[in-house]
Amino acid sequence: MAPELMERRKKERSNELPELKNTEKGVVMRMAPYPSGPLHIGNARMAILNDEYVKRYGGKLYLVYDDTIGSSEKIPDMEAYNLIADGLKWLGVDYHGVFYKSDRLEIFYEWAERLIKIGGAYVCECSAEELRKNREKGIECKHRQQSIEENLEKWRKMLNGEYGEGEAILRIKTDMKHPNPAFRDRVLSRISKREHPRVGDRYHVWPLLEFSWAVDDHLLGITHVLRGKDLVMEDMMEECLWKLFGIDGPEFIHYGMLRVKEAKLSKSKSGKEVRSGMFSGWDDPRTWSLQSLKRRGIKPEAIRSFILSFGLSQSDIEVPAENLYAENRKLIDADTHRRMFVPDPVKIVIKNMPDIGDVELANHPKEALGKRKITVKNEIYIAGEDFEKFRGKEIRLKDLFNIILDKEAGFTSISNKEIPRIQWVSEPIDVEVVMVDGTIKKGYGERSILDFKPDDMVQFERFGFVRIDSVEERRVRVYFAHP
RNA sequence: GCUCCCGUAGUGUAGCGGCCAAUCAUGCCGGCCUUUCGAGCCGGCGACUCGGGUUCAAAUCCCGACGGGAGCACCA
């Protein structure tokens, strides 16, 4: 075959995620969100990448709520389970099974005991500070020397509740001199007396991520694990555990850390604001949750292309939300009506205005989306910002005529001129725009905005795309999507 | 400090030994469409972190430096 043909093929394949390795025996993957709140834009990467691969290989995807007891800053929230499921459904991520870590404690106890019996783990009674210090210096504590019997005895005491929080933990025996300090005899299980929203106070010994996953990745028959680069060490721990147990587990694939520039808030921080009432709820735009993006009129398909544009690279990236907005614009622009909206309105009266009666304006500059009629009086409203900026100058009221702008404006001519064109409102209704920073921008909009229904998208000319949220008698509330 | 990962235009990304005077998207600038600071169309701007090596040939492989990130939690 001509070499050019092969070469060309090489050039054509592009922009797709790399192939998975070892897919002969099928593909089973899992997503493991922690239910402390709904999925946010950053979590979408985990969900979408998993979904893409499972769909490509015709595999299975499980949703496993990683709802162990967490920490004092990270607590499971009953409401979050449904919020997460809703978010996934909206994103178009399908899954084939749901599991809860909090249902599987007995399994982890059983495996922990097995590990102790083969001498792979020990119960340590050092304090957290002691443990940290020893880890730093590579010192083995006395508990490491305990016999298997002693460890089993202490483990039973842990399960029986004879220890308080922090008084005993189960640690894996790796190597206290391991070159990676993070790897030295990590903790597998610990005691927490906190109440769990699903299982209450039934359990007080909880596994840590690496231990519970070492067991479950194997038990659930996971073949490929897609996780952020922050969890590479957890891979090593899991592999280490599999080796001790003599079992095998999935392959790990990592992607770099993704940050959306505008979305700085962590889930737990947002949670605080939601609970305190500072935020309107989990769909407050400041949370950047999937729910909040939906409310702003961002389409799930836009999120998918946005996420997929990063591929599977291991570099850490910070992307402006502008990229997401560009995707959304492509999706909605062609069938989004245009309307006039003036924030911080200023009333002007037009002198010597010709009697032009009603005007008909196209709903879209290019697409055939119909027209609407507006009755123009000589009292109209323009945006406060435009008034300040152009006062005393000649401007054109878009689609109308030219005036010298002032409180009492003078009509000059009707023919189109190359002067600034601004939007205006004649028969005003109240419009409130919920902005991305949570503030509310008030202004007037044209009357026909009342005809929209919640979820409709509209572009306010020279202002931005918004999603209609509620329509009342003379008042409309919208959420700002993006410019 | 230690361990690991990453380093292509402003931001992301493709390329992974010759086709690269480097892809695409986004951004920015200009033009057109002649009434959006929108979209579309057209054109333009703009990058292989640096230094060695391997090779006939390197963005692509190796080594080093520099820069960035993550981990070193009884969080996930």
Complex confidence, ipTM: 0.92
Q: Which nucleotides of B are covered by protein (CB under 7 A)?
A: 1-8, 10-16, 19, 23-27, 34-40, 68-76
- Give the per-residue pLDDT at A119: 94
What is the sign, positive or negative, of the torsion defined by CA atoms of A203, A110, A228, A94? negative
Give the nucleotide at minimum CA-to-C1' distance from A70: B75
Which CA-bearing residue is nearest the C1' of B15? A11
Residue A8 has pLDDT above 80, yes or no: no
Residue A173 has pLDDT above 60, yes or no: yes
The total of structural domains in chain A comes to: 1
pLDDT tens digits along A47-60: 999 999 999 999 99
What is the sign, positive or negative, of the torsion defined by CA atoms of A64, A67, A68, A71? positive
Show Cβ contacts of residue A277 under 8 Å, excluding neighbours closer than 6 positions.
none
In a domain, A143, yes or no: yes
In a domain, A154, yes or no: yes
In a domain, A433, yes or no: no
In a domain, A171, yes or no: yes
Q: What percent of chain A has pLDDT over 90?
A: 74
Confidence band, pLDDT 50/70/90 cuts, at residue A7: very low
In a domain, A482, yes or no: no
Q: Which domain holds residue A131?
A: 104-207
Residue A12 has pLDDT above 60, yes or no: no
Distances from the Cα of A424 to the Cα of A380, A381, A390, A396, A399, angstroms: 7, 6, 14, 10, 10
Beta bridge partners of residue A430, listed in sequence order: A444, A475
In a domain, A169, yes or no: yes
Residue A354 has pLDDT above 90, yes or no: no
Q: How far apart are the first and last CA of chain A?
A: 51
For chain A, give the mean pLDDT.
Answer: 91
Residues A225-234: b if buried by 16+ CB within 10 A, e if exposed? bbbbeebeeb
Residue A129: CB atoms within 10 Å: 8
Residue A109 has pLDDT above 80, yes or no: yes
The CATH number assigned to the domain holding A121 equals: 3.90.800.10
- Give the per-residue pLDDT at A2: 34
In a domain, A174, yes or no: yes
Residue A454: CB atoms within 10 Å: 12
- Give the per-residue pLDDT at A15: 53
**Å between A358 CA and B61 C1'?**
73
In a domain, A27, yes or no: no
**Å between A146 CA and B18 C1'?**
63
Alpha helices by DSSP H, A298-366: 300-308, 321-332
**Å between A435 CA and B43 C1'?**
36
Residue A46: CB atoms within 10 Å: 20
Give the nucleotide at minimum CA-to-C1' distance from A325: B26
